[in-house]
Structure formats: C-alpha cells, structure tokens
Amino acid sequence: MMDKSLFSRLYGPRAWIAIAVLAVVALVVVPLCNLVVPKDSVLHISDYTVALIGKIMCYAMVALAMDLIWGYTGILSLGHGVFFALGGYAMGMYLMRSIGHDGVYKSDLPDFMVFLDWKAYPWYWKFTDHFWYAAMLVVLVPGVLAFIFGFFAFRSRIKGVYFSIITQALTFAFMLLFFRNDTGFGGNNGFTDFKRILGYAIATSETRMFLFALSAVVLIAMLLMARYLITSKLGRVLTAIRDAESRVMFSGYNPVNYKLFIWTLSAVMCGIAGALYVPQVGIINPSEMSPANSIEIAIWVAVGGRGSLIGALLGAGIVNGAKSWFTVAFPEYWLFFLGALFILVTIFLPTGVTGLIAKLAKRGPA
C-alpha cells in the first residue's frame, strides 16, 4: 500500500507511462538502433547522436539540480558550473590515471605533469587510481564545498542578487585556479585523451552505449528523487522559503537548514552529472567553470519553466539541442539566438515552455 501511495504521489498514471516510454527508448531502442541496426539503415543512430544525447542528459541533470535550488527554493546560483566541473575533474583524475603508460611520454605520470617536470603525483592525487575513491570524490568534493560555502552564506542571510554574485565570484575564482598549470589539473587543456574506464576501452560503441544508458538511469532516478523531495513536506517548506522567507522563520522553521540541505544536494547532483559527462565527451577543462557557462544553466531552467522538474529537462534539451544545431548551421547567430532567448523568456515567458503549454492546454478544450 505504501508503495502505491508513493507512486501516485510522485506522478499521475500518464506521466508514469511517459517516463516508462522514455526509459524504454533510452535503454532498449537507442542501444538497438546504435549497436544492432546496420549503419546504412534509416533507423541507425550514429555514435555522434548517442554522444550528443548523452551529453544533453548530463546537462539535464544539472538543470534538475538548478531547478531545485532556483525554481523551488528561489536561490539563483550562478556558480553551478563549478560543482559540475569538480565532479568532472574528480572522474577525470581517475580516467587520467587509467591511461597508464599509454600517454605520449610513456610515463607513470600524466603527460601534462611530465611536461611540467613533476616527479610524483601531488598529495591530492593519492588513491585516485581506484575507481571507488574517485567516485567518492565525485560526490564529496562538490558536496563539501557547497556545504561550507552554503553554511556561511545562508547563516549570514545572504540572499537574492548578493548570493548570485558571490556564487559567480566562486566559480570565477575556481576557473582562475584551475587555469594555473601549478594547480595540478592540467591547466588550460585540462584532462583529455582518455583511454579506458574500469579496464574497458573508452572509445568503443559498447562502452559509450553503457555510459549513455547509465546516464539515462541516473537521470530518471534523479528526476524521481527530486519529485519525491518536492512533494514531501520538505518540498513545501522550500517553496515557502521561496515565496516568503520571513514568514517561514516566524512559523518556527529555520530556513538555513533547509536551504543548506537542498543547496548541497543540488551541488552533489551537478557533481554526478559532471562525472558522467566527462567520459562521454572525452575532455574536461577549466572553461566549464567560466561564469558564462554557469549562467547558461539558469536559462535552461528558465526556458523550460521554473518550478517544474519536467520543464527543467525540457529546457536543457531545447537549449542544448538548438545550440548543437545552430553552432553547425549558423555559428555566428548562436549568440544572437541565445541572447534573444534570455531576454524573451524573462520578459514574455516567466513560466517557461511548460507554463505556456499548460496555458494553451487550459485554453484549448474550452
């Protein structure tokens, strides 16, 4: 009985069917079309498309995380890129060490360290050759950073634009730090040229398909978890904080704890997304931490519709789909389009695409 009530609490039957269909598409149809269907067939899905969709699914996780913190709690973070990149770097460290002796210099150390004339791994690279340790870092590094940062920021009641700006300063500072060669993360070039993951060659279609399917599973899991959170009492408090923080305080709740929880969770989600992103895209570099990247995350959510989890997913899909189409078809107009999107959505579509659809649906049958 418990299970059933949980099911119905999360989504209605139609939404469950939609999620199931998507899961089947991602876990059965796409792998079949990519691996089994012959290359010259109409139904064949190319490796490029798989990688693209995989990448967008990672972005969608970030959008979910952003929606939790911005759409539901009303805290606009302009620094989510840093958590994404840190997760990516943690996974990248493991992938770099898995290259082993196959680098250009055939050394124990990654090529960029040989290049800097380093003789040993710095202390923070210790144990990163173990997958479980790297996986732990993926969760812990963004989580701990977010917890510390959030603890101080929320405790001193920094909110609104101030919070946005200091998160921007945070990601900017990290970007500068990671651009330094001496920081020990490959400087400008970051990590690339990965060879294998958990012993499997990373470039084969099978490995890629596994990562793709894994991303799909994680994405759906995150969606359900987020949905579980926001339909719980905690979710209601979060929404209340968004709408009237003082009243929440006067009603006897301490908003700091709630904000800190959702903020840290959101950062961890970004870290996991980053960790899934890096092996699929094959590179991580400090430009992921640029303030521009982080602010773009906000527009995914704004386009899809703040305060709607499905909206966040839609937004990430629409914006990134448009981006990969534009940058191929009309590279010089992409920024115009993105810029116009920022302006038009904020002025004319405050509830995003999902809000628009809901409005049309309401008007339609009547």
Partner 1 sequence: MLDGTAIVRVFLRRFLACALWMVALSCSAVTPDVLEKLAFGDSDAKNAALATIINSADESAIPLLQALADDTVQTSPEKKVYVVKDGKGVDAATGKPVDPLPDNLDDVVINNVMRKQIGVAIAALKLTSASKDVRLAAAKELQGNAEEDALPALAKALAKETDADVKALLTLTQASIQLQSKDKNLRLKAIAELAQSNNPNTKTLLLGLLEKKDGNFVEADPDIRNAAQLSLNAVQSKLSTGERIAQVFSGISLGSILLLAALGLAITYGLMGVINMAHGELIMVGAYSTYLVQNFFRNHLAGAFDWYLLVAVPVSFIVAAIVGMILERLVIRWLYGRPLETLLATWGISLMLIQGCRSIFGAQNVQVENPVWMSGGIEVMTGVVLPYSRIVIIGFAFAVLLLVWVMLTRTRLGLFVRAVTQNRSMAACVGVPTKRIDTWCFGLGSGIAGLAGCALSQIGNVGPDLGQSYIVDSFMVVVLGGVGQLAGTVYAALGLGIANKFLEGVAGAVLAKICVLVFIIIFIQKRPQGLFAIKGRFADA
Residues 278-297 that bind partner 1 (CB under 8 A): 291-292, 295
Closest CA to 67 of 255, 216, 269, 220: 269
Nearer to partner 1, 93 or 170 (CB): 170
Q: Determine how many CB atoms are found less than 10 A away from the CB of residue 335.
A: 10
Q: Which residues pair with 192 in a beta bridge?
A: 283
Single residue of 16, 162, 200, 325 touching partner 1 by CB under 8 A:
162
Binding mask 92-131 for partner 1 (x = CB under 8 A): ----------------------------------------
Q: Which residues pair with 191 in a beta bridge?
A: 284
- Tokens representing residue 31 in the block: 């792998």
Residue 165 touching partner 1 (CB under 8 A): yes
Query: Three-class SS of residue 332?
Result: helix
Where would I find the H helices in the chain?
2-10, 13-24, 30-31, 47-66, 80-98, 111-115, 131-155, 160-179, 205-231, 233-243, 245-250, 255-281, 291-304, 309-329, 334-348, 352-363
Q: Measured between alpha carbons, how far is residue 17 from residues 53, 214, 317 in Å? A: 21, 20, 20
Secondary structure (DSSP) of 281-328? H-EE-GGGGSHHHHHHHHHHHHHH-TT-HHHHHHHHHHHHHHHHHHHH
Q: Taking contact as CB under 8 A, which single stretch among the options 123-131, 165-173, 204-212, 237-245 is the one that binds partner 1?
A: 165-173
Single residue of 9, 126, 130, 180 touching partner 1 by CB under 8 A:
180
What is the C-alpha separation between 2 and 115, in angstroms, rounded?
A: 59
Residue 254 touching partner 1 (CB under 8 A): no
Residue 152 touching partner 1 (CB under 8 A): yes
Largest Cα–Cα separation, the chain:
73
Single residue of 172, 210, 228, 326 touching partner 1 by CB under 8 A:
172
Residue 160 touching partner 1 (CB under 8 A): yes
Total binding residues toward partner 1, as defined by CB under 8 A: 44
Query: Three-class SS of residue 230?
Result: helix
In degrees and rounded to multiples of 5, residue 116 shows phi and psi of: -85, 0
Residue 76 touching partner 1 (CB under 8 A): yes
Min separation Cβ 20 and partner 1, Å? 34
Contact 312/300 with Cβ under 8 angstroms?
yes
Min separation Cβ 281 and partner 1, Å? 23
Q: Taking contact as CB under 8 A, which single stretch among the options 148-156, 234-242, 269-277, 351-359 is the one that binds partner 1?
A: 148-156
Single residue of 52, 114, 135, 338 touching partner 1 by CB under 8 A:
338
Nearer to partner 1, 224 or 338 (CB): 338
Residue 148 touching partner 1 (CB under 8 A): no
- Tokens representing residue 243 in the block: 């709408």
Residue 343 touching partner 1 (CB under 8 A): yes
Min separation Cβ 310 and partner 1, Å? 21
Residue 166 touching partner 1 (CB under 8 A): yes
Residues 304-333 that bind partner 1 (CB under 8 A): 332-333
Q: Taking contact as CB under 8 A, which single stretch among the options 12-20, 55-63, 84-92, 172-180 is the one that binds partner 1?
A: 172-180
List interacting residues with partner 1 (CB under 8 A). Answer: 76, 149, 152-153, 155-158, 160-162, 164-166, 168-170, 172-173, 176-177, 179-180, 291-292, 295, 298-299, 302, 332-336, 338-343, 345-347, 350
